[in-house]
Amino acid sequence: MRHIKTIVAATLLSTTLTSCFKEEPLNAECDIEQAYIHLDNPLEMFFQKSDTLVSLTSIQNDVIFKVKRGTDRSALAPQFRLTEGATIFPESGSLQDFSNGPIIYTVTSQDKEWSRKYNVSFTLPPVVLNTINYDFSTFEKNTNNPANKYYVWYDKSDEGTKTFSWATGNPGYYLSKTLAKSTDYPSVPVESELEEGKYCVKLTTRATGPKAVRLQMPIAAGNFFYGRFNANIALEHPMEATEFGWQINFKPVSFEGNYKYLRGEKVTDKDQNELTDKKDYGSIYAVLYDNEAGNKVLNGNDILTSENIVALAKLPDIDDTPEWTNFNIDFQYSKDIDENKMKSYGYSLAIVCSSSVNGDKFEGAVGSTLWVDKFTIKCEKIDE
């Protein structure tokens, strides 16, 4: 009997399933995974050796090499690591003139069915004055596919190109609520009440869905930060998806800005238990840290605890604040600054705002709302 069963099983499987496996289909993906440039002496052009390599997440359409002032950008040959089998035009390693701004490269998948366009640029460092102002009034709907789902913020570089230096958890929220309206996301722009015609950023702690609740992620705090959001791992490792900070070459002295805050009613923990003795608070802080020559990025796990932290400018937990309130706090340095390291972009600055102070632990009150507007970083310039 057992034999017959085995024979029947084998016959069935081989006829209906196994024997029918076809040849492997060609790859349909067309991403630039990494861009790099090979130079005999990279430090002539770059501040750090690690700057010769740019890694991209799947939602980025821009490849930005940050080069030193005075670099001749008229004949550079960036190379690209693409998804398997994909091709790129202009060709990887071909000489291009980047002195007039970004060049558009098109990547085509191995099966020729799909393509993506990337803006590749070599940008000069921003001219650092004594203050750096952010008014959060330049934003658009996301352009990565699927487009127009949520808002993204950008700054204009001195040369006029967009740099997406401020990030939010919106791309992660999109994955958890694909049907949400762009205005219902945790991070949205709203009209500024401080200056007519301008905008501020509104962050709201939102409830997630049943599966997320089971995974002990029942809320999504609105966040807004100077850094990058890695959507690839947003659901798998949410804490690590917030890559805080960008490399800078100036010494921040103080952090100024404006906010108002309205807390939600019921604070719940990751298991959705109501914490009746707890109140929700908003959170705003700036962190300067040693990026280990461009190799270290702090994330949700260690942004306030890492040994790499050099200075911190942190507001006390933000209580209910119905009126717009100005703050101005100094960076508290716990370590000395190495000027040479600073000049070569060896430190990174992170600025983080969240509508629930413990939102990273999925603890907070649905409805808690933090508005932020007009940030200024005062800095001491390190002479180049």
Partner 1 sequence: MKKIFLTAILVLFGITEGLCANNLLRNYSYYARIGYHLGGTAPNGMPSTIRKMNSYSLRPNFMLGVDAYHPFNDRWGIMFGLHFENKGMKVDATVKNYHMSMQQGNDDPIEGMFTGNVVTKVDQSLATIPVQAAYDLSNKVRFKFGPYFSYVTSHNFNGYAYDGYLRETDPTGTKVNIGHEPTDRGDYDFSGDMRNWQFGIDVGVDWYFSKRWGGFAGLTWGLSEVFKKDFNVIEQSLYPIYGNIGLIYQFK
Nearer Cβ to partner 1 (218/282): 218
Nearer Cβ to partner 1 (127/179): 179
Nearer Cβ to partner 1 (18/74): 18
Taking the complex as a whole, the smallest distance from the CB of residue 155 to partner 1 amounts, in Å, to: 23
Number of C-beta neighbours around residue 267 at 10 A: 24
Taking the complex as a whole, the smallest distance from the CB of residue 83 to partner 1 amounts, in Å, to: 9
Taking the complex as a whole, the smallest distance from the CB of residue 258 to partner 1 amounts, in Å, to: 33
Tokens of 344: 């070569």
Nearer Cβ to partner 1 (174/199): 174
CA atoms within 13 A of residue 261's CA, in its CB half-sphere: 27
Taking the complex as a whole, the smallest distance from the CB of residue 114 to partner 1 amounts, in Å, to: 5
Taking the complex as a whole, the smallest distance from the CB of residue 303 to partner 1 amounts, in Å, to: 21
Taking the complex as a whole, the smallest distance from the CB of residue 222 to partner 1 amounts, in Å, to: 17
Task: Tell me how far the alpha carbon of residue 149 is from its chain's centroid.
Answer: 16
Q: Which residues pair with 286 in a beta bridge?
A: 313, 351
Cβ neighbors of 42 (< 8 A, separation 6 or more) are 49, 51, 52
Range list of H helices, 36-189 = 170-176
Nearer Cβ to partner 1 (171/227): 171
Task: Tell me how far the alpha carbon of residue 16 is from its chain's centroid.
Answer: 47
Q: Find where tokens 């990494």 sit.
A: 34
Contact (Cβ atoms closer than 8 angstroms) between residue 203 and residue 359 = no
Instruction: Report the amino acid identity of residue 180.
Output: A
State whether residue 31 is helix, strand or coil.
Answer: coil
Nearest Cα to Cα of residue 174 among 148, 205, 149: 149
How far is 32 from 292, CA to CA, in rounded Å?
25
Taking the complex as a whole, the smallest distance from the CB of residue 265 to partner 1 amounts, in Å, to: 22
Nearer Cβ to partner 1 (70/146): 146
Contact (Cβ atoms closer than 8 angstroms) between residue 260 and residue 322 = yes
Nearer Cβ to partner 1 (79/115): 115
Tokens of 91: 């060709």
How far is 268 from 362, CA to CA, in rounded Å?
8
Tokens of 167: 């990030």
Rounded to the nearest 10°, the torsion over CA 288, 290, 296, 300 is -30
Residues lying near partner 1 in the complex (CB under 8 A): 4-5, 8-9, 11-13, 16-18, 20-25, 27-31, 57-59, 109, 113-116, 144-146, 171, 174-179, 208-212, 215, 217, 231-238
Taking the complex as a whole, the smallest distance from the CB of residue 380 to partner 1 amounts, in Å, to: 40
Q: Which residues pair with 35 in a beta bridge?
A: 54, 80
Cβ neighbors of 380 (< 8 A, separation 6 or more) are 130, 250, 251, 253
Taking the complex as a whole, the smallest distance from the CB of residue 170 to partner 1 amounts, in Å, to: 12
Taking the complex as a whole, the smallest distance from the CB of residue 351 to partner 1 amounts, in Å, to: 25
Nearer Cβ to partner 1 (28/132): 28
Q: Find where tokens 């016959």 sit.
A: 11
Nearer Cβ to partner 1 (231/352): 231
Tokens of 336: 């000395």
Nearer Cβ to partner 1 (209/316): 209
How far is 255 from 296, CA to CA, in rounded Å?
23
